Amino acid sequence: AQSVAQPEDQVNVAEGNPLTVKCTYSVSGNPYLFWYVQYPNRGLQFLLKYITGDNLVKGSYGFEAEFNKSQTSFHLKKPSALVSDSALYFCAVTHGSSNTGKLIFGQGTTLQVKP
């Protein structure tokens, strides 16, 4: 069965410092991996995805993520955090050969960036 784990409920960083939000996954076959962000009282917003190719993918708002097949991880990163990055972040996976594309989400990680 497919699953996603986000081991940290909350990540705290100071503005200007690099940030990492962790995600590990379990799926048979090739994974399609996604990161979404959810601001209070707003819908989920797509940040970036990994399908194939370069293990480092770049997305919106300066975020990037690194796919590591051996560690089955897809950690979200940003070189310099902004206070406005504070939000709830979700990692999601689907099976690369899935004929539905249904996403399995992690529990979410709250990112708090302090001035």
Q: Restricting to residues 17-56, which ones interact with other proteins according to CB under 8 A? A: 32, 34, 36, 42-46, 49, 51
In angstroms, what is the minimal distance from the CB of 52 to other proteins?
10
Say how many residues touch other proteins, by CB under 8 A: 26
C-alpha closest to that of 35 among 22, 54, 17: 22
Q: Which position among 40, 53, 100, 115 is part of the footprint of other proteins (CB under 8 A)?
A: 100
Q: Scanning the structure block, which residue is given the tokens 């990680």?
A: 109
| Per-residue tokens: 30 | 């090739």
Whether the Cβ atoms of residue 85 and residue 14 lie closer than 8 Å to each other: no
By DSSP bridging, strand 44-50 and strand 31-38 are: antiparallel
In angstroms, what is the minimal distance from the CB of 31 to other proteins?
11
Whether the Cβ atoms of residue 19 and residue 11 lie closer than 8 Å to each other: yes
Stretch that binds other proteins, among 19-27, 65-73, 77-85, 88-96 (CB under 8 A): 88-96
In angstroms, what is the minimal distance from the CB of 107 to other proteins?
5
Residue 5 makes contact with other proteins by CB under 8 A: no
Buried b (16+ CB within 10 A) or exposed e, 48-58: bbbeeeeeebe
Which residues contact other proteins by CB under 8 A?
A: 4, 32, 34, 36, 42-46, 49, 51, 90, 92, 94, 96, 98-108
